[in-house]
Amino acid sequence: MIVLKTRREIELMREAGRISAGALKLAGEAVQPGMTTAEIDKIAYDYIKSQGAIPSFLNYNGFPATACISINQEVIHGIPDREHVIWEGDIVSIDLGAVINGFHGDNAATFPCGKISPAAERLCNTTKEALYIGLSKAVAGNRLGDIGFAIQEHCIKRGYGVVRDYTGHGIGKHLHEDPSVPNYGKPGKGARLLPGMTIAIEPMINEGTQDVRVLKNNWTVVTADGKLSAHFEHTVAVTEGECIILTQV
């Protein structure tokens, strides 16, 4: 069931989004050669707690950290640890959220570590562009398929694989709510967007195949061909006009 939010609830979500965005910004700034993913996770945790919020991901379905930190061929759900060192040329996807006053924010971005290859830079730029193209379609009266098609078309035209096994989602009092928000689709198809809907739009785009697999830890998702992947996400509120991005610094 899709839950529409009141103006007051959207304002509460804006606060959760602000904290989520602040944590993501700090985590991204910490992406430097020699840093471990555990160190970056601690930075995000400390910031969220300092704001009076709780990390949305910590212990969610057993996930053991504040942030999902996924490097290079890792698509999503990378588990931070002290042994996982970030090196020059890596691309690092960080996905995290915060809950405060009963509402969640959720956002993600892929950060370069130092100088990255032109191919990696192109992938990251295209994925970020796809997010904002998707956001432009998140308008009352459109349908979910309009968002997914716009993202898919932008990326496939550039030779990339659009992950289908994982999608964006509704968000509010729960981290994951209805509806599912795929990064592919057909224009005019899917649930109609209504004012008050709050959704997380998050293209996960692969350098090669769209296919993925899950590692033995039952969390980390990697590209099936070992090529790079990038991930960007915002939590937004649907309005009659442009959507409101709730995960802004």
Summarised one tens digit per residue, pLDDT across range 35-77 is 999 999 999 999 999 999 999 999 999 999 999 999 999 999 9
Give the pLDDT mean for 125-137.
98
Architecture field, domain 7-245: Alpha-Beta Complex (3.90)
Per-residue pLDDT, 203 = 98
Where does the pLDDT of residue 242 fall: very low under 50, low under 70, confident under 90, or very high at 90 and above?
very high
CA 54 – CA 129 distance, rounded (Å): 30
In order of 57, 97, 110, 136, 168, the CA distances from 71 in angstroms are: 18, 19, 9, 28, 20
Per-residue pLDDT, 249 = 82
Residue 82's contacts (CB-CB under 8 Å, 6 or more residues apart) are: 36, 38
Contact 96, 47 (CB under 8 A): no
Give the pLDDT mean for 103-115.
98
The two structure tokens encoding residue 171? 């968000």
Q: Between vectors from CA 133 to CA 130 and to CA 136, what angle results, nearest 5°?
A: 150
Q: Across all residues in the chain, what is the average pLDDT?
A: 98
Our CA dihedral for 75, 76, 79, 83, rounded to 10 degrees, sits at 20
Where does the pLDDT of residue 85 fall: very low under 50, low under 70, confident under 90, or very high at 90 and above?
very high
Does residue 201 surpass a pLDDT of 90?
Answer: yes
Where does the pLDDT of residue 160 fall: very low under 50, low under 70, confident under 90, or very high at 90 and above?
very high
Residue 158's contacts (CB-CB under 8 Å, 6 or more residues apart) are: 122, 126
CA 109 – CA 8 distance, rounded (Å): 27
Per-residue pLDDT, 16 = 98
Give the pLDDT mean for 142-164.
98
